[in-house]
Chains A and B, each alone.
Chain A
Amino acid sequence: MALYSDIVMDHFRNPRNVGVIENADGVGEVGNAKCGDIMKIYLRIEDDIITDVKFETFGCGSAIASSSMATEMIKGKPLSEALALTNKAVAEALDGLPAHKLHCSVLAEEAIKSAVRDYYDKHGIAYDVKQFPDCEHCGHCDSQCDCH
């Protein structure tokens, strides 16, 4: 389908890092079923390095592809790099997303940040809350639902 780039379709058809990590060090879930997409990210963290990452996604093709790409981009990376990951970088790595699907890449960024924050919370690690805005305002849910 011409709706999506070849890279999006590849990550949608063959998603990387699908699954669950039992007793994960950090778990983040964002989105709302009412809006039609939920992403859940599981992190295994050793010495500040993301040694393993898995995801589960309820959503459209670009939501699944965005989760897959985002997990690839942070796997094996230090937490600082994961926190620096932007939705724009995810969308660019996917060779672009249609305008009305950009919120999928926003969700991916948020899901990762949410999982890192969960790790910090669970392990009593201090952090600057400003690193974790409640919602990157993408406009997706404005009038529709009570996401995030």
Chain B
Amino acid sequence: MRIYADNAATTKMSQRAIQAMLPYLDQIYGNPSSLHTEGQQAAEALANARARIAARLGCSPREITFTSGGSEADNQAILSAAKMGERKGKKHIISTAFEHHAVLHTLQALEKQGFEVTLLDVHEDGMVSAQQVEQAIRPDTCLVTVMYANNEVGSVQPIAEIGRVCRQAGVIFHTDAVQAVGHLPVHVERDNVDMLSLSGHKFHGPKGIGALYVRRGIALQNLIYGGAQERGKRAGTENIPAAVGMAEALDEAWEGMEEHMRHLVMMRERLIEGLSQIPHCALNGHRDQRLPGNVSFCFEGIEGESLLLLLDDKGIAASSGSACTSGSLDPSHVLLALGRPHEVAHGSLRLSLSAENTMEEVEYMIAAITEVVGYLRSISPVWRDLELGKKEFVLK
């Protein structure tokens, strides 16, 4: 038996999305740029997919640009806003310390080009406030980019409030909504968003496709030059099957959203309750303002990679922000941004559920995690020192 609890990494494709894609692999395979019937059928499918996605997000189809995924959308949004700002002599950007690397590393590249970046501190509950954004905005600020929901700790940001602050100040507001779209009722008008990134494979659509919403009036900067696809802003023959699959997955996610949320929140709450029984652990991220399927904990005295390997042996696919799992030396920048000390951040575990998970699986996971954490502590010299009182517990 396998339990997949890593849906924030990627999801299983839905049957509906797969079925929707199939005709576009071997029947309607034309190039949308071609004049003939096959090409025009493909163009129609692309237009249809774009319209469906736009309808869900509350924008017009021409405001949707297809990309290869969330990272490309983030890159293009940020670089475009920076370019617009630069023309007006505005070279200051505001973001947060716990963004996805697709955002943070793009900002680092801009810093090398002379931009100044303010990374807002994240409160220990995983939240950033509109007041923080308001106070950081300067006359030369050209962009605010704040993620809709954090991929590791699941906290959902006050996007509409932040958007309002930005609008009042006349600053472009981008949100990386990769973890939110398909799971929360994201709406670009209600959320006061100017640019928004999304990724198909986070809501049971295909990998390799995403989209960028850009409010009319904001000029996109090309990352890829070539043909006139995507209104000249993203060259390369369009990935029609993936676009259709993503649109279908998004429709399906939206149709089932309320029901899925109820089921996910029930499982999430039980997991939080059950795992909280383990001594010296802590929930990461906001207690309530969090993604319906996200559970993130730190367990003191153990290291995350060994936890993941033993859980994998027990049939559970989960993830961790430990340094060892990332291949880097530092534990997750997200947990550090929340103020977790290094030694605690190493012992993190993220479970990200989908609607396919069950309460039986939840109970099994609680038992398995409790057992594995207990075992790893029993062989940990750090835990021994904590228990003997040689070191003080960080987590009560």
Contacts and interface: CB of A to CB of B under 8 A. Distances in A.
B309 A36 contact: no
Interface in A74-110: 100-101
Given A34-B343, A36-B322, A100-B327, A58 B305 contact: no
A105 to B, nearest CB: 14
B342 A59 contact: no
A33 interface: yes
Interface in B111-152: none
B346 A61 contact: no
A118 to B, nearest CB: 14
A50 B391 CA distance: 30
Given A1-B312, A140-B329, A145-B342, A57 B324 contact: no
Nearest to B329: A144
Interface string A58-71: 11110110000000
Nearest to B330: A144
A58 B324 contact: no
Given A34-B343, A100-B327, A61 B305 contact: yes
Contacts of A140: 329
A29 interface: yes
B323 A56 contact: no
Greatest chain A CB density within 10 A among B301, B306, B325 is at: B306
Counting contact residues on chain A (CB < 8 A from B), the size range is 20 to 34
Interface in B318-367: 322-325, 327, 329-331, 341-343, 346
A77 to B, nearest CB: 23
B381 A58 contact: yes
Contacts of B310: 13
Interface string A131-144: 00000000011011
A119 interface: no
**Most A CB within 10 A of own CB, among B305, B323, B330:** B305
B333 to A, nearest CB: 13
A18 interface: yes
A38 interface: yes
A113 interface: no
Best-buried of B330, B346, B381, B383 by chain A (most CB within 10 Å)? B381
A81 B330 CA distance: 35
Contacts of B265: none
A20 B381 CA distance: 10
Contacts of B329: 35-36, 140-141, 143-144
B72 interface: no
B198 interface: no
Given A36-B323, A140-B329, A61 B306 contact: yes
Given A1-B312, A29-B381, A145-B342, A58 B303 contact: yes
Contacts of A39: 381
A36 B346 contact: yes
Nearest to B344: A33
Contacts of B342: 33-36, 145
Interface of B: 301-303, 305-306, 309-310, 312-313, 322-325, 327, 329-331, 341-343, 346, 379-384
22 contacts: A1-B312, A12-B309, A13-B313, A18-B379, A33-B346, A33-B382, A35-B329, A36-B342, A38-B380, A39-B381, A57-B380, A57-B381, A58-B302, A58-B380, A58-B383, A60-B303, A60-B306, A60-B325, A61-B324, A100-B327, A101-B324, A141-B329
Given A29-B381, A36-B342, 19 more contacts: A1-B309, A1-B312, A12-B309, A33-B346, A34-B341, A35-B342, A36-B322, A36-B329, A36-B346, A37-B303, A39-B381, A40-B381, A56-B379, A56-B380, A58-B380, A59-B324, A61-B309, A100-B327, A144-B330
